[in-house]
């Protein structure tokens, strides 16, 4: 069976050697030494100034929203994983969906301003598949309307934009270190706080709002453990080989799928990508389903990522129409991509897609 992804795992001895440092001290949580070391190494790797390693990629979105300090509307994208919208609703904000651009699948920044009202407090949008949003336009709008900018960078690990780490943009930028991600800690996430006024607040939010016996604010358990940090420390030295392998697989797909009536999101100029995903857009949902079924018959599983368009979630209290996202979410499909995916498997995938489209 070939799944859409396969978790990269280090040599068990390598992992246990690092974990043993915490094991011997019996300090396995509450901002342990391994966690602190991972934070420092990731700050250097990602080119960030202020960075916290947390429990997952959703809690960090909730912490950023909570830091705003007032309720209201949040401009967001309908094309993302459901955690983006759920965090907004969970923190008692109202999501206002702005449609996406067909070229890169990110929020269409030219449509944001028309959705801003007196109750708008923030913009929370996703760097979809690690491709940067239109940062210049978004941040210009945010300054003019005094809005907080939160970038959901769940896919943005290691991406550089204009010579800077992509997670260094915005007031807040979050990332996911789930086991399915490019870099992972089994479960985990991070938040980059790129404005001084929120740094202490986010630090306190992560640990119930207190330091030992001094209590400063409300908070949650956003911490992570030494077991997870050890996984990150054992994987981080392999990131160059992981990213190189992914790049080579993407290039093989580019070659193998040439000539087909399918398209890919267009990367923003000035971006050094991480090749975290290989999304393709089919001509119709019908062709996507035919290809998915043909691949499934050969024990190959891609993923409809992202589907459905989030403005169509059944539990939303109001319906907002986003025709571009609704259309593209029905036609987008991510192909298997992970280190170790061999050329023979890539050829089978590409040939199956060619054959299926030719038949249809």
Helix orientation angle between 199-206 and 59-67, rounded to the nearest 10 degrees: 130
Helix orientation angle between 343-359 and 285-296, rounded to the nearest 10 degrees: 130
1 lies in some domain: no
CA distance readout (Å), 274 to 160, 175, 236, 246: 8, 13, 14, 8
Q: Could you tell me if 230 and 118 lie in one domain?
A: yes
Range of the domain at 184: 12-236
Q: What is the pLDDT of residue 272?
A: 97
* pLDDT (average), residues 213-218: 95
4 lies in some domain: no
| Domain-terminating residue out of 236, 257, 278 | 236
218 lies in some domain: yes
Q: Could you tell me if 258 and 220 lie in one domain?
A: no
Q: Reply yes or no on whether the pLDDT at 360 is more than 90.
A: no
* pLDDT (average), residues 8-32: 97
- Pairing of the two strands 164-165 and 160-161: antiparallel
317 lies in some domain: yes
Is 283 exposed, middle or buried, given 0-12, 13-18 or 19+ CB atoms closer than 10 A? Answer: middle
Q: Residues 87-139: pLDDT tens digits?
A: 999 999 999 999 999 999 999 999 999 999 999 999 999 999 999 999 999 99
What SS3 state is found at 73?
Answer: strand
Alpha helices of 209-301 — where are they, by DSSP H? 226-235, 239-256, 285-296
CATH number of the domain bearing residue 172: 3.40.640.10
Q: What is the pLDDT of residue 250?
A: 98
Q: Could you tell me if 189 and 315 lie in one domain?
A: no
Q: Residues 277-319: pLDDT tens digits?
A: 999 999 999 999 999 999 999 999 999 999 999 999 999 999 9
What SS3 state is found at 149?
Answer: strand
Q: Could you tell me if 197 and 243 lie in one domain?
A: no
| Domain-terminating residue out of 183, 215, 236 | 236
Q: Could you tell me if 247 and 227 lie in one domain?
A: no
CA distance readout (Å), 149 to 62, 230, 283: 14, 31, 34
Q: Could you tell me if 289 and 231 lie in one domain?
A: no
**pLDDT bucket at 51, cuts 50 / 70 / 90:** very high
Q: Residues 217-245: pLDDT tens digits?
A: 999 999 999 999 999 999 999 999 999 99
Q: Could you tell me if 215 and 350 lie in one domain?
A: no
222 lies in some domain: yes
Q: What is the pLDDT of residue 231?
A: 98
Q: Reply yes or no on whether the pLDDT at 195 is more than 90.
A: no
3 lies in some domain: no
For the chain, counts of helices (H) and of strands (E): 11, 14
Q: Could you tell me if 287 and 251 lie in one domain?
A: yes
Q: Reply yes or no on whether the pLDDT at 62 is more than 90.
A: yes
Q: Could you tell me if 229 and 315 lie in one domain?
A: no
Q: How many domains does the chain have?
A: 2
What is the average pLDDT value for the chain, to the nearest integer?
97
- Pairing of the two strands 164-165 and 120-126: unpaired
Q: Reply yes or no on whether the pLDDT at 267 is more than 90.
A: yes
Q: Could you tell me if 253 and 270 lie in one domain?
A: yes
Q: Residues 157-169: pLDDT tens digits?
A: 999 999 999 999 9
Q: What is the pLDDT of residue 285?
A: 98
CATH number of the domain bearing residue 290: 3.90.1150.10
Residues 6+ apart with CB under 8 A from 110: 137
Q: Could you tell me if 122 and 144 lie in one domain?
A: yes
186 lies in some domain: yes
CA 244 to chain centre: 19
| Domain-terminating residue out of 219, 236, 253 | 236
What the block records as the tokens of 150 is 């939160």
Q: Could you tell me if 303 and 258 lie in one domain?
A: yes
Q: What is the pLDDT of residue 238?
A: 98
145 lies in some domain: yes
Is 239 exposed, middle or buried, given 0-12, 13-18 or 19+ CB atoms closer than 10 A? Answer: middle
Q: Would you say the pTM of this structure is higher than 0.85? A: yes
Please check whether residue 126 is in contact with residue 77, taking contact to mean a CB–CB distance below 8 angstroms: yes
Q: Reply yes or no on whether the pLDDT at 4 is more than 90.
A: yes
SS3 content of the chain, % helix, strand, coil (to 5): 40, 15, 40
């Amino acid at each position: 069976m070939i799944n859409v992804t396969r978790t990269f795992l280090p040599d068990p001895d390598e992992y246990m050697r690092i974990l043993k440092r915490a094991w011997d001290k019996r300090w396995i949580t509450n901002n342990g030494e391994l966690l602190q070391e991972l934070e420092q190494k990731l700050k250097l790797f990602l080119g960030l100034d202020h960075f916290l390693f947390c429990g997952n990629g959703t809690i960090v979105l909730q912490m950023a929203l909570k830091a705003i300090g007032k309720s209201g509307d949040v401009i967001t994208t309908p094309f993302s994983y459901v955690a983006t919208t759920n965090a907004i609703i969970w923190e008692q904000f109202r999501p206002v969906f702005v449609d996406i651009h067909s070229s890169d699948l990110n929020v269409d920044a030219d449509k944001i301003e028309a959705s801003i009202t007196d109750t708008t407090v923030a913009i929370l949008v996703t760097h979809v598949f690690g491709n940067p949003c239109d940062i210049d336009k978004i941040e210009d709008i945010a300054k003019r309307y005094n809005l907080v900018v939160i970038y959901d960078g769940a896919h943005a690990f290691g991406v550089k934009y204009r010579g800077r780490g992509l997670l260094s943009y915005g007031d807040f930028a979050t990332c996911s270190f789930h086991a399915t991600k490019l870099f992972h800690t089994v479960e985990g996430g991070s938040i980059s706080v790129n404005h001084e006024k929120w740094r202490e607040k986010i630090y306190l939010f992560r640990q119930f709002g207190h330091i030992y016996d001094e209590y400063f604010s409300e908070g949650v358990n956003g911490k992570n453990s030494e077991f997870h940090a050890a996984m990150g420390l054992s994987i981080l030295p392999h990131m160059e080989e992981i990213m190189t392998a992914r790049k080579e697989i993407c290039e093989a797909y580019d070659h193998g799928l040439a000539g087909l009536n399918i398209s890919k999101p267009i990367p923003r100029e000035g971006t050094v990508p991480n090749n975290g995903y290989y999304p393709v857009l089919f001509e119709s949902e019908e062709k996507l389903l035919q290809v998915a079924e043909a691949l499934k018959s050969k024990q190959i599983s891609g993923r409809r990522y992202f589907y459905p368009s989030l403005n169509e979630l059944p539990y939303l209290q109001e319906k907002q129409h986003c025709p571009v996202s609704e259309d593209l979410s029905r036609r987008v499909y991510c192909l298997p991509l992970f280190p170790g995916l061999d050329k023979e498997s890539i050829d089978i995938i590409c040939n199956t897609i060619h054959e299926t489209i030719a038949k249809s």
